[in-house]
Structure 1
Amino acid sequence: MSNFEPNAVIRGFQLTVVGTLRALYNPELFKYEHFRQAALAVVVGIVIQIVIQIPIVAVKFAIYLMSWIINLDHATWDDKLLNGMDFMSNSVLQVPFLLMTLMRYLTPTLDEIFMQSIQWVDSTYIQKHKSEDPDTLRAMYYPHLIQYSTKGKTGGSRPVAEALMAFANRYAKKIGLILGVYLLSLLPIVGRFVMPAASFYTFRDHVGTVPAAAIFGAGLILPKRFIVMFLHTYFASRSLMRELLEPYFSRIQFTSQQKRRWFRDREGVLFGFAFAFTVVMRTPFIGVLMYGVAQASTAYLITKITDPPPVPAESEGFAESQVTWKNKHDFLRLSLDNLDRINVAMDDDSKSSSQSYSGKKFT
């Protein structure tokens, strides 16, 4: 449980709260086009939900009519059918999250929110420590990160159609997995073991055999809907965290293996951070609007779990150096009001960049 220890998950929750508060203090945040797009997504989401609910209401009405002809008091198939349709609507399709994720590939607003929030975090850090020796402060993130291209090493950006297809493949695989496990859980006799077994298999590599076995045991006792909700929230949190970190990974180029190791070393904190936002985003209407706040809060998260990047010309080997979270244990031991105490030693170039940046007017 070294990477998924309770202390790391709790610290992830705390970073959600602190990062959100920092983001909401930013006067530039709500000026972005993103929030007008989010309002449009709310309207579109309502329309889609109405369309989805039409067949559900029709089936419920048909079952109601059948109950006048057939005695359904002792039948269970009708409850299973309705529960399955509600499960598809609320847990599998995830319409609001899908809409906001698609917007990332169609407009640059979420990327702009991330970068402006990185700038805001730097300026807030400077103001908070303005009475301290500048040589003891960490390097800034924004001045160097803004110099990185989002087009990758090849210099050519991935076509929108290709990016959308990759996202659709990931989304389809996740839906297929959740739906497949749910359908298997409906089988007689063995069905009651499917959800607990899926939970054990999913968490064993992340939290260890003993905690995973405890989850398996709880799955045999608790109602199936709780296990479904738990698994869905877990997978949704992982997907959300991947999308929120896209502005960072589109600039700092990691190989697939490096990225897996990067996530693995931070998975406890990332889960705690994304889990809180995943729960909030399930709130009707408000959830979609919170996506932009989550993206802004991710900027604060990045400054706590990575080192400030060098200039692009000196970035060779930087990605590999970030795979292991160097200050993890020190950071996890900090009290909540001392989250800025971990400072990064700066070289001469970073110091001069920080000093020139500290006098810059932030817009």
Structure 2
Amino acid sequence: MKAARLYEYDAAMNVELKIEDVPPPTINGPDEVVVRVGAAGLCRTDLHIIEGVWKDIMDQDGSLLPYIMGHENAGWVEDVGSNVKSVKPGDAVICHPLRTCGICLNCHYGHDMYCEHGQFPGLGLNGGFAEYFLTNERSLIKLNTNIAPLDVAPMADAGITAYRAAKRAAGLLRPGAYCAVLGVGGLGHIALQCLQEISGCRTIAIDREPGAQQLAKDLGADFVLDGGPNVIEEVKQITGGGAHVVIDFVGELGVENICWKMLRQGGEMIVVGYGGKIEIPTLELVANEIKIGGSLVGDYTELVELMELNADGKVKMHYSQYKLEDINTAIDDFKHRRFTGRGVIVP
């Protein structure tokens, strides 16, 4: 099969993935499933993998390379293990990014993303930037008959990560409250749509890119700001003192230290993007009773919920499509923000 493989890490990202012919994956366990990839989302985590940010976590001795990235996958079931009952060859599916065991306490609680024995195709083992990839039955959700894998693949990670953050925010926001969304990219534009469906809050979308600003307007954000030097004051003026919730989908480049300053007293900042370092005087935390917490990828049931919103046409993924052989162009375009929404790789 054709696959795009990473051969070395480079903080400057001056390396390219190599398109090669490699043996396709095969069933090795009774619960495993081989998926023919219909589409695979390109994620900022993929850029961080190339940069070596994840090396100490997923590849301490360097033995993983070369390997196939790609953790936002959808396609069609190609082959199944002997115990697989819920899907069959030919079924269209989206894949929760984590292969979970189903028997640890976290799995029994429904917290799939905390699975004690979880494996992450595309992040530590071969993923979906290829014609086929291997996962297990527990990760699969069958798609509605009118939904194409191409239209939803990035929702496997970007979508449920945004949905989880929006769902958490919705629990904190009464009707008329304000939620600021920093970064209207592959995740932020999904969060905006989710907030509108599950919360009565007013949304403030903030992004420096004109294309992202226009997308936010098209999606119905109540306010759209360009993230200029006066953005904190602009947010406080709009909200009458600060946002009730701020969701940071950037998490680096200094944005992480702007976001908490937008909060009103008692507000909460939800950090989704990463790479930077938050610095805040403890007096600010205490005197204003603000809260700062991270938000990981959503669990299996949250992906089911998101697929229902998508099937009803309430939450849609905006994307640019690339062929597998053009993956390095896609990565470069993503790095330089030449497209709005998500990049999707199609084998």
Higher-strand-fraction structure: 2
TM-score range, shorter chain: under 0.3
Higher-helix-fraction structure: 1
TM-score, length basis structure 1: 0.24
Q: Choose 1 or 2 for highest CA Rg.
A: 1
Which of the pair has the greater relative contact order for Cα pairs under 8 Å at 6+ separation?
A: 1
TM-score, length basis structure 2: 0.24
